[in-house]
Amino acid sequence: MVKSIEPMTSGSIWKRMFFFALPLLLGNLFQQLYNTVDSLIVGNFLGSSALAAVSSSGSLIFMLIGFLSGISSGAGVIVSRFFGAEDDKNLHKTVHTTVAFGIVAGILMTLMGVLFTPQVLIWMDTPESVMKESVTYLQIYFAGSFGFVMYNIFVGILQAVGDSRHPLYYLIISSVINLILDIIFIEFFHTGVGGAAVATVISQAFSAVLCLIHLMKTRENYRLILRDIKFDKKILSEFIHIGLPSGVQNSIIAFANIVVQSNINAFGEMAMAGYGAYTKIEGFAFLPINSFTMALTTFVGQNLGAKKYERTKEGTRFGILVTVILSEIIGVIILIFAPQLIAAFDSTPAVVNFGIEKARTAALFYFLLAYSHSIAAILRGAGKTMIPMFIMMAFWCAVRVTFLTIMIPITHSIQTVYWVYPMTWALSSIAFFFYYKKANWMGFKIATTT
């Protein structure tokens, strides 16, 4: 079958990666705006308590979604390899197995999220003043999470074959829908944080439907045929083998972040609102990281599938450099404009001060975060997912939790919580540097043929 999408196995390396990453960057920008709009509208129309309720939900959402997206990333690696190798038969099996996995996983996540949300919020020491609104927001969100899961499954398939444009178009449409519904539900119908959650659920489901229609109508070799959706045991086993370490890694790191959020919650709802506002702003620093690390994973997967090892190595150097530079530039901008940015969510002085303190401890260290994610993305593209899992679990989970458990009772300072992130980014970057420096690219060849 003739491909209209150019693979990343030929042509200028920087052009292939840049023009793949650019739609991702724009898409992630709209995704971040999509997520930020809820907090902006909630903070300005409903106040600090409502903002704290919405903001504290991020870690819990990522704990469940991160596990599923980590596992499905294994499917993306396999899709990119079969696409690069022009193996249409196995590509077809992988696409339909991935969708079948998404359907089952989406149902399970919906049930788990709705049932366990109240108890997990209690474990997180969520203040009583925001508990009711937090439960409302999260239960509505998880009740509609099937659409979010399937959207990410569909987008993962498209990105793995090098199509980053269509996900961008659909995300722009859903972002506009989310903004309009937020205003309608909160400002006109006065539905509170529940309205913000409903707006998110509807817009996510709409984007999933658009992706589904595209995959069903495309004439490419990754076309989705509904009657063929089923599990292929061999493919399922392989992508779980590749993706499970990433899923476990994401969930354990999210658990550590829940511990961090619990410590933030102990300082009250003003701290929760300020910290939550900053995390929305920090999300913009993740834009180049998410975009170019996805480009790195796809580039590595396709080129290793095509057995172009030197090209793979050259592309990784370019991807790392661009990701680190862009994320640090954004970090400097966030540091300079932190007071104005935090105040856009909630101008309460205490909220702004908590947000500014967080910016002063983390914003200049985004290059470390970018470097760690870049190396992890390269290793995932090569099928070596165990190394990133062990490094990130060790430093982003074990060290974070241990450090906070020991130091918070001693310092009783929120600064201690803030500093745990750049500290662990630095440790993981050091570990990744020495591993990558000694990496045997011949070993990557072996990993693609076994």
pLDDT tens digits, 377-397: 898 888 787 888 889 889 998
CB-side neighbour CA atoms (13 Å) of 349: 0
pLDDT above 80 (res 443): no
Alpha carbon distance 163, 260 (integer Å): 36
Three-point CA angle 11, 218, 296, nearest 5°: 35
pLDDT above 50 (res 25): yes
Residues 112-130: pLDDT tens digits?
Answer: 888 888 888 887 777 777 7
Q: Report, in this order, helix, strand and coil percent for the chain, each rounded to 5.
A: 85, 0, 15
pLDDT above 50 (res 238): yes
Alpha carbon distance 425, 148 (integer Å): 28
Strands, E assignment, 26-74: none
pLDDT on residue 393: 86
Confidence of residue 10 (pLDDT cuts 50, 70, 90): confident
pLDDT above 90 (res 42): no
Identity of the residue numbered 217: K
pLDDT on residue 448: 38
Section 101-105 average pLDDT: 90
Confidence of residue 60 (pLDDT cuts 50, 70, 90): low
pLDDT on residue 57: 64
Residues 267-298: pLDDT tens digits?
Answer: 988 998 899 889 888 888 888 888 888 888 88
pLDDT on residue 103: 93
Helix segments in 382-413, DSSP class H: 386-392, 400-411
Confidence of residue 227 (pLDDT cuts 50, 70, 90): very high
412: left (phi over 0), alpha (psi -120 to 50) or beta: left
pLDDT above 70 (res 412): yes
pLDDT above 50 (res 1): no
Alpha carbon distance 326, 367 (integer Å): 8
Section 194-215 average pLDDT: 91
Q: What is the DSSP letter of 126?
A: -
